[in-house]
């Protein structure tokens, strides 16, 4: 054991010592990277007067009617920056319907049809060759007035690497400059729009918009794959090829700190599968609060580029690798106050974990797959962690000292180990959840989930923590100091909302395997809706109070134009993803609801199948739709196009009256539906109450515009009609009885 620890320490020291020993290629790379950012004042430019010049880039067409180009930042005989002033026009098509809707959410239209007087381009394609081959040019110093216009209009501002960017645009441009081709990198800013074609991102076309003056970054409004891939149908948007897939994560972590959350040193091995035909530059992410010391590939030092304020890390491989190759990457880092412990890539695929965990002897950590502590030296222990399951993300909870455990056996025989922490201060008397309420409610929520969904996947022991929200199988967390037992939160379910979510994430948590970012709404909504089912079971009508509160939250987002198609992934705020996602599940429930027996059996089978399937293999939105159709019993393309790939909000207004025909009673409804598209008909549950106290239920569909619908006949004399029973659809409904 002492030898193992010594080896880890030596590796970390070597990592720090060799981090500054850059290769010649990396030295050159850094020099060029710096030149990409040099100021344009007094720079030489190839000056070209153009007329009726048309340049096409994937789905974009730029027409430069008349004006002057300045080609700058030259490398060899090629240029990487172009500035145009004069008269121009941009037309950008957005083939995926969901992305048109998303662009319209943040910009004036669902496509781009914009005139401009100035335009700045950063490129690694052949725009410079096309211009120089078609027009004469002169080499001149960039005029002061022109330089000043570029500065005043901030045309380069949104390209500069900022902490708000997920990618380092300079790195992406430079990696494409080394492989200069017709489909090379192309970024442009004109008016309030940005257009980015990046051949080395999972989805290559990105259209942004300066949503508000003073924005630090352009808001991404449409993101989709290049034209030649033809992935434009909503059902195909999740068919994305990522450059790498993490197959395994392993290594050694040494932990310390007053909060037990400091990483003294980490040596993490990633086994990466290469997916494209050839690859030399690799995109990797590591929480920006970590100090990255060194990276190796196949046991040799690797060049990498990382700005201190970025999670983005660009790896520069010593040679090209090809589809099917695997890379053994070792990453050495340290730090604290992180949110993501391990390195990750764009691809959200789940991977296996196996690592040695070194910690002080009096510390307590909780995570799946832990072995028994083994003493090593200096009052430290080592624990081997080898979970049986693959995880999308891996969380842990550390407590430095003073921890007791209270075991409580659940109804399925699984022990819930309640962690009693002596540092949990009870002086917050207004917000401290008493032990008996905390333990009883958490156990109650767990038992409910187990009753509906069976044993949680991959869990053999559960630690129940009174701090934080890092819930995953084997670690169930809900804050014991939380102001939820009085005030507005009490009406929504109080502490049960937190206990239900923590329990729900045992079944719908970090084992879920979304195929792409476009499925992240399911990761947010599934545990939230499981919690809602628990609240309904224990508190009845509070379910609807909670549901309406979530609708109010989405309505606020809509009022400030922040409601976007759910399938836009993390471009949608997490609050909207969770709250609107809950409504999608609620509406599906009442599409599956048996109106004669009032049984939710089909919906519960649907939820159980999601739990079994989505914790075991990758899923897409198309998979989800297919499963919903299976339990509803009919196609739901238009339904999901509206609720998942769109952002509508139906309004139903009209009146009804009871009529008699052939000695039988019917209800005649005349309803105008607004804010639907031309094909979607919104299904609404209607209840007709009889004078005998009995009710009949109907499910009717309303299309955009005027609807005249007759329902019946009724088995008893009708007295009232109730539109949108069970709040079966997220809509404004105002249908009254005709006098």
178 and 214: one domain? yes
C-alpha span between 435 and 439 (Å, rounded): 6
Tell me the CATH number at 660.
Answer: 2.60.40.1840
- Whole-angstrom CA distances from 513 to 26, 477, 620, 622 are 36, 21, 9, 14
User: pLDDT, tens digit, for every residue of 252-284?
Assistant: 999 999 889 999 999 999 999 999 999 999 999
529 and 662: one domain? no
Count of structural domains, the chain:
4
Q: Which residue has the tokens 């048996």?
A: 594
User: pLDDT, tens digit, for every residue of 686-715?
Assistant: 999 999 999 999 999 999 999 999 999 998
Low-confidence ranges of the chain (pLDDT < 50): 1-20
Residue 202 DSSP class: S
By C-alpha distance, which of 722, 710, 706, 708 is closest to 672?
706
Residue 368 DSSP class: T
SS3 of residue 734 by DSSP: strand
Asked if residue 332 lies in contact with residue 267, where contact means CB atoms within 8 angstroms, the answer is yes
- Whole-angstrom CA distances from 572 to 16, 219, 479 are 39, 11, 26
CB atoms within 10 A of CB 675: 15
By C-alpha distance, which of 394, 329, 331, 382 is closest to 356?
382
Asked, for residue 21, whether it belongs to a domain, the answer is no
519 and 589: one domain? yes
Can you give the pLDDT at residue 424?
67
Asked if residue 292 lies in contact with residue 306, where contact means CB atoms within 8 angstroms, the answer is yes
Asked, for residue 411, whether it belongs to a domain, the answer is no
632 and 530: one domain? yes
Asked, for residue 412, whether it belongs to a domain, the answer is no
Residue 327 belongs to domain spanning: 2-16+241-401
Can you give the pLDDT at residue 425?
61
Tell me the CATH number at 494.
Answer: 1.10.390.10
- From 203, 236, 269, give the residue that closes a domain: 236
722 and 596: one domain? no
- From 358, 373, 401, give the residue that closes a domain: 401
664 and 634: one domain? no
C-alpha span between 218 and 158 (Å, rounded): 6
92 and 110: one domain? yes
Asked, for residue 30, whether it belongs to a domain, the answer is no
485 and 616: one domain? yes
Asked, for residue 325, whether it belongs to a domain, the answer is yes
SS3 of residue 232 by DSSP: coil
Q: Which residue has the tokens 């199948």?
A: 609
Can you give the pLDDT at residue 638?
97
Q: Kindly give, in sequence order, each residue whose CB lies less than 8 Å from that of residue 718, ignoring residues fewer than 6 positions away.
A: 658, 665, 667, 688, 689, 690, 691, 712
- From 627, 643, 659, give the residue that closes a domain: 643
Asked, for residue 118, whether it belongs to a domain, the answer is yes
| Angle of CA points 49, 53, 56, to nearest 5° | 135
292 and 152: one domain? no
542 and 483: one domain? yes
CB atoms within 10 A of CB 156: 17
SS3 of residue 18 by DSSP: helix
181 and 263: one domain? no
Asked, for residue 390, whether it belongs to a domain, the answer is yes
- Whole-angstrom CA distances from 617 to 351, 367, 614, 620, 660 are 11, 22, 6, 10, 56
Tell me the CATH number at 357.
Answer: 2.60.40.1730
Q: How many CA atoms, within 13 angstroms, populate the side-chain half-sphere of residue 531? A: 31
665 and 708: one domain? yes
Asked, for residue 293, whether it belongs to a domain, the answer is yes
């Amino acid at each position: 054991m002492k030898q193992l620890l010594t080896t880890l320490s030596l590796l970390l020291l070597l990592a720090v010592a060799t981090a500054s020993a850059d290769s010649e290629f990396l030295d050159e790379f850094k020099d060029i990277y710096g030149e990409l950012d040099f100021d344009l004042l007094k720079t030489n430019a190839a000056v070209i007067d153009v007329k009726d010049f048309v340049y096409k880039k994937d789905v974009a067409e730029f027409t430069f009617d008349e004006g002057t180009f300045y080609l700058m930042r030259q490398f060899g005989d090629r240029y990487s920056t172009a500035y145009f002033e004069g008269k121009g026009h941009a037309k950008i098509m957005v083939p995926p319907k969901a992305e048109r809707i998303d662009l319209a959410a943040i910009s004036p239209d669902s496509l781009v049809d914009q005139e401009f007087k100035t335009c700045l381009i950063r490129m690694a394609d052949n725009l410079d060759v096309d211009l120089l081959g078609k027009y004469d040019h002169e080499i001149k110093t960039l005029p002061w007035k022109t330089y000043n216009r570029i500065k005043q209009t901030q045309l380069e501002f949104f390209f500069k690497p900022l902490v708000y960017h997920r990618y380092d645009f300079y790195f992406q441009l430079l990696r494409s400059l080394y492989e200069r081709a017709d489909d090379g990198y192309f970024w442009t800013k004109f008016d309030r729009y940005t257009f980015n074609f990046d051949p080395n991102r999972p989805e290559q076309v990105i259209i942004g918009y300066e949503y508000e003056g003073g924005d630090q970054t352009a808001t991404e409004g449409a993101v989709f794959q290049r034209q030649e891939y033809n992935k434009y149908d909503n059902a195909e948007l999740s068919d994305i090829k990522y450059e790498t897939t993490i197959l395994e994560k392993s290594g050694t972590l040494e932990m310390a700190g007053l909060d037990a959350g400091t990483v003294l040193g980490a040596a993490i091995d990633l086994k990466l599968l290469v997916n494209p035909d050839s690859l030399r530059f690799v995109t990797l992410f590591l929480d920006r609060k970590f100090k990255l010391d060194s990276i190796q590939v196949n046991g040799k030092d690797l060049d990498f580029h990382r700005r201190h304020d970025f999670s983005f890390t660009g790896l520069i491989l010593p040679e090209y690798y090809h589809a099917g190759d695997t890379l053994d990457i070792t990453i050495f880092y340290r730090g604290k106050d992180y949110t993501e412990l391990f390195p990750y890539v764009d691809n959200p695929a789940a991977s296996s974990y196996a690592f040695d965990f070194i910690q002080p002897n009096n510390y307590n950590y909780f995570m799946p797959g832990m072995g028994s502590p083994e003493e090593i030296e200096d009052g430290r222990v080592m624990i081997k962690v080898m979970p049986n399951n693959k995880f999308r993300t891996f969380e842990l909870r550390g407590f430095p000292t003073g921890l007791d455990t209270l075991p409580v056996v659940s109804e399925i025989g699984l022990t819930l180990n309640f962690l009693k922490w002596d540092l949990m201060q009870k002086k917050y008397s207004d917000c401290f959840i008493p032990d008996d309420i905390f333990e009883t409610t958490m156990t109650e929520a767990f038992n409910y989930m187990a009753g509906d969904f069976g044993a949680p996947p991959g869990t053999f022991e559960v630690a129940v923590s009174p701090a934080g929200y890092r819930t995953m199988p084997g670690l169930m967390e809900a804050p014991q100091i939380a102001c939820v037992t009085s005030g507005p939160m009490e009406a929504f379910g109080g502490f049960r909302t937190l206990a239900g979510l923590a329990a729900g994430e045992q079944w719908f948590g970090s084992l879920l395997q979304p195929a792409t970012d476009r499925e992240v709404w399911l990761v947010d909504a599934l545990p939230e809706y499981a919690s809602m089912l628990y609240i309904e079971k224990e508190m009845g009508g509070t379910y609807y109070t909670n549901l309406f509160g979530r609708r109010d939250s989405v309505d606020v987002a809509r009022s400030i134009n922040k409601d976007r198609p759910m399938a836009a992934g993390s471009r949608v705020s997490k609050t909207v993803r969770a709250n609107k996602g809950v409504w999608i599940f609620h509406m599906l429930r009442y599409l599956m609801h048996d109106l004669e027996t009032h049984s939710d059996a089909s919906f519960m089978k649907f939820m159980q199948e999601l739990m079994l399937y989505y914790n075991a293999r990758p899923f897409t939105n198309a998979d989800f739709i297919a499963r919903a159709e299976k339990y509803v019993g009919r196609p739901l393309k238009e339904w999901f196009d509206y609720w998942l790939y769109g952002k509508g909000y139906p309004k139903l207004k009209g009146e009804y009256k009871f009529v008699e025909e052939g000695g039988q009673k019917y209800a005649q409804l005349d309803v105008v539906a607004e804010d639907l598209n031309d094909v979607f008909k919104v299904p609404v549950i209607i209840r007709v109450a009889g004078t005998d106290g009995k009710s009949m239920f109907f499910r009717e569909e309303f299309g955009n515009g005027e609807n005249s619908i007759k329902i019946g006949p009724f088995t008893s004399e009708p007295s009232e009609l109730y539109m949108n029973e069970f709040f079966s659809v997220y809509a404004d409904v105002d249908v009254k009885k005709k006098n």
